[in-house]
Amino acid sequence: MTKPSGLPQYPKSYWLDSTNLPAYPALEQSIEVDAAVVGGGISGITTAYLLAKEGLKVALIEAGRLLNGTTGSTTAKITAQHDLFYDPLIRSSGIEKAELYYRAADDAISFIRQTVEEYDISCGLKEQDAYVFTDSDAYIGKLQSEMEAYHKLGIPSSYTEHIELPVPHKAAIVMHKQAQFHPLHYLQELVGAFVKAGGAIYEQTTAVDVEQGRRPKIMTLSGHSITCKHVVSCTHFPFYEALGLYFARMHADRSYVLGIQSKAHYPGGMYISAEDPVRSVRSVDMPDGGKLLLIGGQGHKTGQGICTIRHYEELEQFSEQYFQPERIAYRWSAQDLVTDDKLPYIGHLTSGTDNIYVATGFRKWGMTSGTTSALLIRDLIMERDNPFAPLFSPSRPITLAGVGKLITDNVDVAKHLVAGKLELVRKKPEEVAEDEGSVVTVAGKRAGAYRDKEGKLYLVDTTCTHMGCEVEWNNGDRTWDCPCHGSRFSITGEVIEGPAEKPLKSLSAASER
């Protein structure tokens, strides 16, 4: 076997690379609509589409470009199998809530299938079985318990000690008749249907605040506003929290994906390992008839852990060991938010905000949970009963396990806040090599430096503009990441991911070496 040439120099998502998305204008004047949806991923686009179908006048705004966030970086599994999840959920919350969760995910899968059929969308939708496998004796019992939970819930499934995927394994559970697709080709059609239904789209339009009231007003970074009856925040991390304290009730995780080309036989199916380090595998049918294998995993809290390029290297080694890659065509990473009880927050932003809604905390399963959120929020706005509203309500009571997780996460935040302030930094900006980023000392203070391939140096203040933690360099994706609440910034300090809304302070203009 010929060893592949190595990792691509820069991260790029296959989904984005294989989709020609139209551009939409920025908001250039204040407007009034029935509903304003903030966020251009699967939850925002699907919500806007559904509300427009109901006859509402809807505006969809996005801080950057549509579908360039987490939705553009997913592995795009359409499944109700969300790791080893149902047995722990039954134990912590009861079988009724577990049944509701499965029904919500299954309804989302049905909605996607029906929508693809309705519009005859060419998005590579393909039915697949979804596997959770293990090569650890310690996890066999957990798989068996999850299998028992499937049986209690009536989920079509099976248990096996053999899978065709060429990786070490001792057992697996299978959820039958799940699916996969090209998420951007699917959502591109929903965008077109939304516009055809009278919807308006504004890109490069950053929402920064909401003036509450009977008709709330969204304030944008450019100074223009959107007055409406209903505000829906689908911005990954809520752009507006009110008194919801979402920053303290969720943490941000990053995970990594390689897109490899291989002539090795692929048996079909979607796979994820039960134990760490997580390994996720699915295939993509390429236009030329070949297959791209998406090898994912290596999750960790944003801004924490080992040098980030090593996560890609770990996946590269795994791919070489089991999948005979001829070429690593793509690499990219994604950020996901995890709630204290692992259930998404979908519904009214707080118990006191009747006309502001939120969808967040999808825990890496945004294709189903993002669709669930759109269906649920549509029903709330249209004042229809929805059986899933109490389960996903952001104001639901916190569980005992959730209290423990909340304490642990916030102790971790405090630890990183203090550690960043006390870090002793000796490196100077002039010591930073080309295409290198590093924490440095400028005038005795901590700063972030990146020097591009032309020798131009960019310096930023490393204090996160959200709550003052110190950001760390992410050399895998060339970003500055906050280890406390997951905000991410570009080399020039611009916000890539919230909860931060303001950029890092630039310490000097770019300079030549």
Q: Which of 7-11, 218-222, 364-368, 495-499 has the lowest mean pLDDT?
A: 495-499
In this structure, the chain runs to a length of 513
Let me know: does 1 contact 324? Beta carbons within 8 Å: yes
Q: Is it the case that residue 496 has pLDDT exceeding 90?
A: no
Give the containing element (helix H, strand E) for 91: helix 86-93
Contact residues for 223 (Cβ-Cβ < 8 A; gap 6+)? none
- 271-294 mean pLDDT: 93
How do residues 410-428 score in pLDDT, each as one tens digit? Answer: 454 444 444 444 456 678 8
pLDDT at 429: 82
Distance CA 60, CA 187 (A): 14
* Token pair for 217: 């007003």
Which residues partner with 273 through β-bridges? Answer: 133
Handedness of CA 502, 504, 509, 511 (dihedral sign): negative
Pairing of strands 35-38, 58-61: parallel
* Neighbour-count burial of 302, counting CB atoms closer than 10 A to its CB (0-12 exposed, 13-18 middle, 19+ buried): buried
pLDDT at 403: 53
Q: Would you say the C-alpha torsion 238, 207, 465, 331 has a positive or negative sign?
A: positive
Q: What's the pLDDT at 186?
A: 98
Rounded mean pLDDT, 197-224: 96
Please give, one letter per residue, the 3-state secondary structure of 50-61: HHHHCCCCEEEE
Q: d(Cα 53, Cα 193) in Å, to the nearest integer?
A: 9
Q: Alpha-carbon distance 491 to 478, whole Å?
A: 7
Over 60: is that where the pLDDT of 225 sits?
A: yes
- State the sign of the Cα–Cα–Cα–Cα dihedral 255, 260, 264, 269: positive
How confident is the model at residue 423, as a pLDDT? 56
Computed over every residue of the chain, the mean pLDDT equals 90
H or E stretch covering 295: strand 291-301
Beta bridge mates, 31? 226
Is the pLDDT assigned to residue 100 strictly greater than 70?
yes
State the Cα–Cα distance between residues 206 and 495, nearest whole angstrom. Answer: 10
Summarised one tens digit per residue, pLDDT across range 45-99 is: 999 999 999 999 999 999 999 999 889 999 999 999 999 999 999 999 999 999 9
Q: For residue 512, is pLDDT > 60?
A: no
Residue 307 pLDDT > 90, yes or no?
A: no
